[in-house]
């Protein structure tokens, strides 16, 4: 417990030191506000009602968490099919690798043409970017199960679902969470890329709007809020990993 407290204390102090360095850089360097705002000016941007912060935060959060949730569910499901049917993996994995090589920014205009503007296309963009790491790591984790253990369960006439729940899933959890942590970072990038390419709401859209007026403080505030959303998602994944993987280790 003391180690965790020390870790969190150091993390908080390092962030406070970053804010202090930011403040003194602005004050001592006499940096113009339109180039880099002070921490106070950045916070003050939250008071501008025209920016509709709550609405834009909500939209971006829905896009990030929605795309990520779909990627986790569908990614684990496809990886499970790979472990059950070798022919499916041999057929689909090369296709997934090829599709993953397509620059997702290049897909943005096509997604807009197919689905128009809105939250849905941005969820699809977040999904497209963070889907592959989950499939890849989960498939590897499901393959890492000891063959003798699988043979034992099958000898006892265990179903495929029972093999997955009792044997494969517990052993694959570290791999699954590794992919989920990488995907959490990519989901944030995917949602913001989608808003940059075509959207009428969200923090990414707001950044493009305030760029015209050179409201750098609002741009900084949007970046900070996007970062906080990513940290929340990443923290949830870490908490689940600590809960589930540790519990599995005790069993």
pLDDT at 31: 79
Contact predicate 138/79, CB 8 Å: yes
Question: Is residue 228 scored above 70 in pLDDT?
Answer: yes
Which of 32-41, 84-93, 131-140 is most confident?
131-140
Domain ranges of the chain: 1-31, 38-250
Question: Is residue 173 scored above 60 in pLDDT?
Answer: yes
**Taking Cα atoms as reference points, which of 82, 91, 90, 98 lies closest to residue 141?**
82
C-alpha atoms less than 13 angstroms from C-alpha of 139 in its C-beta half-sphere: 21
Contact predicate 194/125, CB 8 Å: yes
Q: pLDDT class for 154, splitting at 50, 70, 90? A: low
pLDDT at 147: 66
Contact predicate 228/165, CB 8 Å: no
pLDDT at 248: 42
Question: What is the mean pLDDT of the segment spanning 183-209?
Answer: 89
Average pLDDT, the chain: 84
Question: Is residue 1 scored above 60 in pLDDT?
Answer: no
pLDDT at 251: 36
pLDDT at 250: 37
Output the CA torsion sign for 217, 223, 227, 230.
positive
What is the C-alpha separation between 205 and 195, in angstroms, rounded?
5
Tell me the CATH number of domain 38-250, given options 1.10.260.30, 1.10.3720.10, 3.40.50.2000, 3.90.1010.10: 1.10.3720.10
pLDDT at 237: 94
Question: What is the mean pLDDT of the segment spanning 180-195?
Answer: 92
Instruction: Pick 52 or 83 by higher pLDDT.
Output: 52
Residues of the chain with pLDDT > 70, as a percent, come to: 90
Question: What is the mean pLDDT of the segment spanning 199-214?
Answer: 87
Instruction: Pick 179 or 200 by higher pLDDT.
Output: 179
Phi-psi label, residue 199: left if phi above 0, alpha if psi -120 to 50, beta otherwise: beta
What is the C-alpha separation between 230 and 205, in angstroms, rounded?
17
Compute the C-alpha angle 198/127/109, nearest 5°: 30
Question: What is the mean pLDDT of the segment spanning 131-155?
Answer: 79
pTM of whole model > 0.75? Answer: yes
DSSP 145: S
Q: Is 60 exposed, middle or buried (CB count within 10 Å of its CB: 0-12, 13-18, 19+)?
A: buried
Q: pLDDT class for 234, splitting at 50, 70, 90? A: very high
C-alpha atoms less than 13 angstroms from C-alpha of 49 in its C-beta half-sphere: 0
Q: pLDDT class for 249, splitting at 50, 70, 90? A: very low
Question: Is residue 233 scored above 90 in pLDDT?
Answer: yes
**Taking Cα atoms as reference points, which of 124, 92, 95 lies closest to residue 108?**
124
């Amino acid at each position: 417990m003391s180690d965790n407290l020390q870790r969190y204390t150091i993390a908080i102090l390092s962030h406070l030191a970053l804010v202090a360095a930011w403040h003194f850089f602005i004050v001592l360097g006499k940096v113009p506000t339109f180039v880099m705002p002070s921490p106070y000016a950045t916070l003050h941007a939250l008071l501008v009602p025209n920016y509709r912060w709550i609405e834009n935060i909500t939209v971006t959060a829905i896009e990030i968490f929605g795309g990520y949730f779909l990627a986790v569910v569908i990614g684990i499901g496809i990886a499970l099919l790979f472990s059950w049917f070798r022919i499916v993996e041999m057929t689909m994995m090369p296709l997934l690798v090829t599709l993953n090589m397509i620059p997702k920014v290049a897909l943005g205009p096509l997604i807009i043409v197919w689905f128009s503007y809105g939250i849905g296309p941005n969820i699809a963009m977040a999904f497209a970017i963070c889907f592959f790491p989950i499939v890849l790591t989960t498939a590897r984790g499901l393959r890492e199960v000891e063959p003798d253990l699988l043979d034992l369960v099958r000898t006892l006439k265990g179903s495929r679902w029972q093999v997955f729940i009792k044997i494969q899933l517990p052993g694959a959890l570290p791999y699954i969470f590794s992919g989920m942590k990488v995907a959490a970072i990519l989901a944030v990038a995917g949602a913001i890329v989608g808003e940059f390419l075509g959207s009428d709401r969200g923090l990414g859209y707001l950044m493009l709007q305030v760029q015209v007026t050179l409201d750098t403080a609002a741009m900084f505030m949007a970046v900070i809020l996007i970062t906080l959303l990513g940290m929340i998602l990443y923290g949830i994944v870490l908490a689940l990993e600590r809960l589930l993987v540790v519990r599995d280790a005790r069993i």
